[in-house]
Structure 1
Amino acid sequence: MATDYKIRVQNVTKEYDLFKTQSEKLRSFFAINRKPVPHFWSLMGISLEVKAGETLGLIGVNGSGKSTLSNIISGIIPQTTGVVDVKGDTSIIAIGAGLRGNLTGQENIRLKALMQGLTNEEIDGLMDDIVSFADIGDFLYQPVKSYSSGMKSRLGFSIAVHVNPDILIIDEALSVGDDTFYQKCLDKITEFKEEGKTIIFVSHSLKQVELMCDQVAWIHYGTLHEIGDTTKVVGDYRDFVKWFKGQSKKDKRKFQRSMKQNQKDFDIDQYQASVVEERKTADPTEKNVEAKVKKDFYGSVISEKMSAGSRILTVLTLALFVFFCWTNVSGHSIRQVISEPSSLVHPTDHIDTTGSLK
């Protein structure tokens, strides 16, 4: 891949464990589940690049992984494998994303701006512009949990575009709200494009995508089905939607079940092996391909489960904690317990004249 990119996503996957109970989830964290937990792969090896100043549209049916990909790029959730290289600060706009329900709109403005690295003085300077753009009236001083989806979108969009991010990620934020606010958003996005900012635009509105995007990526049930010129990709996607709508209900369900089953059956080891073979074919002289691919897959990923070393350390820490608690309750000194372990089951039962337990 080229190096003149603003966002680079390579071999990115995202796995979710389909837990039935909270206890299963806890056992999985400690890697002590006796039965295998079913998996679902929301993303199955996505690779793409977005150049500086480019607007990339993400399209696809519900559940295809568009929002998952945008959340990974913005840093909200981690990928399971792969490289995500983002050159600059991101700001994501989604309905209610990052807004705290118990805080007022004004408090959320300050919190989100502080999280973006702004100082209180800078936030004070932007506050009037953010409030004016959101235009939610006295609801600014009410808890966000009382807002409609439209008001949440207004507030979230207003905050995101005024903290001046390098990369703007818009996830269905224009699907709610009235025409007046919609036009304000379009004008602001156009202004960002003219300033050379990089934008990722997730939407089901193909007209909006055609209007704003330079390139489009069609995410299809966890895979990158097609990426390229907006007119071409949107046209192909429209053909697919037309084909799908022409199927019978039975055939629609069959197709959807088949796609979802593919996401459950995805084999990460097999995919990794295929990437190794591709690189060997592309450059037969390259050495240590397997090790390099493994590093690309897992080198920048934080494991969501305990490693063997962490489990051992946790068990030892717990054992020491129990030992010290038991020793304290028994009334014996640590030295005495170490020299005579049986004293733990024979606690002291009286106090001498000095006040010490015997």
Structure 2
Amino acid sequence: MEDNYKVKVQNVTKEYDLFKTQSEKLRSFFSVSKNRVPHFWSLMGISLTIQPGETLGLIGVNGSGKSTLSNIISGIIPQTTGYVDVRGDTSIVAIHAGLRNNLTGRENIRLKSLMQGLTNEEIDELMPDIIAFADIGDFVDQPVKSYSSGMRSRLGFAIAVHINPDILIIDEALSVGDDTFYQKCVDKISEFKAEGKTIIFVSHSLKQIEMLCDKVAWINYGELKMVGDTQEVTSQYREFTKWFKKLSKKEKHAFEKERKDIQKNFSIQNYQKQVTEEMAKEAPQEKNLHSKVHKLFYGSVISEKMSVWNQLLTWAVLIVVVFFCLVNVSGHSVDRVIHDPTVLVHPSHQLHLPGNE
């Protein structure tokens, strides 16, 4: 059935503003910056569906948007436009995701487990199994900032698989660590598959993808290049990488620059217009398509910038605060200033209390 899915993303995009300074970022948040801030579209209209019990592999060259998509699905970051529906609790395993550097491994286990809704009693029961699986020895009571990448991966994976999530997202977490731990992870993933869990697996290793995944999505510089049968997609991806490796250094640079320029110059307005036209062809009798597409694009999006009304309210509050500060400094009463604002530039040396005028 069409609605029988575990994860659905539709027309998802993600824009990053390339701020140079923190002040530039603050001005943009309040929409007071007159200079146009350069932007980069990590995702340019991704649509795919993951069925219950399916293991989906995400492949693509570095910077194509694989981790961005997995972070959006897990709820770590919001999408810029598009619809994301995740039916179940997610747990993401990534080398740098979800671990607090200043906390010990044991403290991180408790914190992440509490965030997933487990009780202290349940965590106490799971703690020995998680520590045993991670196999990081006495480092479990040391701050995570002292861990190697492999140790971080071990701990993150151990926590994620023991809190029993509905949807497990693994982002390059098997690329570090020794063969023994790698086999433990593969066995645990296979166990999850046998239980009918839904898994999203991000990796550069096509052998891992082919061994674990039922379906593969190839994301190529922010676009969904291909999605389908594992062998078919990985075969096409191998052909692409083989072609790319044969290019000269100059040709590689030109190709990558061309793709990056497309991501920088992507127009969300043109993409929205394209989607509207496609929907019009499929359902020519449909009315109010523009408003429906706009709702599809922005209906479930949390804005990362202030709305016009919030801007007006912020400025109004700021003006009121400044006004009362000036009144306080002037030494005049509020009534006096309201009736004669010019007294603000003539401070009084006498304190006026309410009711004494």
- TM-aligned CA deviation for residue 112 of structure 1: 0.8
Please say if 1:274 is aligned against 2:294.
Answer: no
- In structure 1, the residue matched to 2:254 is 254
Query: For 1:36, what is the secondary structure of its paired residue?
Result: coil
- In structure 2, the residue matched to 1:245 is 245
Asked whether the equivalents of residues 11 and 83 of structure 2 are also in contact (C-alpha less than 8 Å), the reply is yes
> Structure 1, residues 231-254: CA drift from partner, whole Å, max 9, x if none?
000000001111111111111111
- In structure 2, the residue matched to 1:25 is 25
> Structure 1, residues 184-220: CA drift from partner, whole Å, max 9, x if none?
1111111111111100000000000000000000000
Letter in 2 for 1:176: V
- In structure 1, the residue matched to 2:212 is 212
Please say if 1:7 is aligned against 2:4.
Answer: no
Asked whether the equivalents of residues 331 and 351 of structure 2 are also in contact (C-alpha less than 8 Å), the reply is no
- TM-aligned CA deviation for residue 350 of structure 1: 4.1
- TM-aligned CA deviation for residue 341 of structure 1: 2.4
Query: For 1:286, what is the secondary structure of its paired residue?
Result: coil
Q: In 2, Cα distance between the equivalents of 1:119 and 1:341?
A: 60
> Structure 1, residues 235-294: CA drift from partner, whole Å, max 9, x if none?
000011111111111111111111111111111111100100111101111111111000
Asked whether the equivalents of residues 350 and 357 of structure 1 are also in contact (C-alpha less than 8 Å), the reply is no
Q: In 1, Cα distance between the equivalents of 2:133 and 2:281?
A: 54
- TM-aligned CA deviation for residue 343 of structure 1: 3.1
Q: In 2, Cα distance between the equivalents of 1:335 and 1:257?
A: 64
Give matches, 1:113-262, under 5 Å.
113-262=113-262
Letter in 2 for 1:331: G
Give matches, 1:49-128, under 5 Å.
49-128=49-128
Query: For 2:56, what is the secondary structure of its paired residue?
Result: strand
Letter in 1 for 2:97: A
Q: In 2, Cα distance between the equivalents of 1:294 and 1:208?
A: 39
- TM-aligned CA deviation for residue 305 of structure 1: 1.1
Asked whether the equivalents of residues 331 and 357 of structure 1 are also in contact (C-alpha less than 8 Å), the reply is no
Asked whether the equivalents of residues 348 and 357 of structure 1 are also in contact (C-alpha less than 8 Å), the reply is no
Asked whether the equivalents of residues 219 and 226 of structure 2 are also in contact (C-alpha less than 8 Å), the reply is yes
Q: In 1, Cα distance between the equivalents of 2:341 and 2:274?
A: 57
> Structure 1, residues 75-101: CA drift from partner, whole Å, max 9, x if none?
000000000000000000000211111
Letter in 1 for 2:110: R
Asked whether the equivalents of residues 332 and 351 of structure 2 are also in contact (C-alpha less than 8 Å), the reply is no
Query: For 2:174, what is the secondary structure of its paired residue?
Result: coil
- TM-aligned CA deviation for residue 323 of structure 1: 1.5
Aligned length: 356
Normalised to the residue count of structure 2, the TM-score between the two structures is 0.96
Letter in 2 for 1:18: L
The unaligned stretches of length 5 or more in structure 1 are none
Q: In 2, Cα distance between the equivalents of 1:297 and 1:207?
A: 36
Give matches, 1:34-45, under 5 Å.
34-45=34-45
Letter in 2 for 1:237: Y
Q: In 1, Cα distance between the equivalents of 2:142 and 2:338?
A: 60
Query: For 1:184, what is the secondary structure of its paired residue?
Result: helix
- TM-aligned CA deviation for residue 357 of structure 1: 9.5
Letter in 1 for 2:348: T
Mark the CA change 1:351 to 1:24 in structure 2 (over 3 Å): closer, same or farther.
closer
The unaligned stretches of length 5 or more in structure 2 are none
Between the aligned residues of both structures, percent identity stands at 70
Letter in 2 for 1:309: W
The root-mean-square deviation of aligned C-alpha atoms, in Å, is 1.7
Mark the CA change 1:338 to 1:351 in structure 2 (over 3 Å): closer, same or farther.
closer
Q: In 2, Cα distance between the equivalents of 1:186 and 1:76?
A: 25
Query: For 1:46, what is the secondary structure of its paired residue?
Result: strand
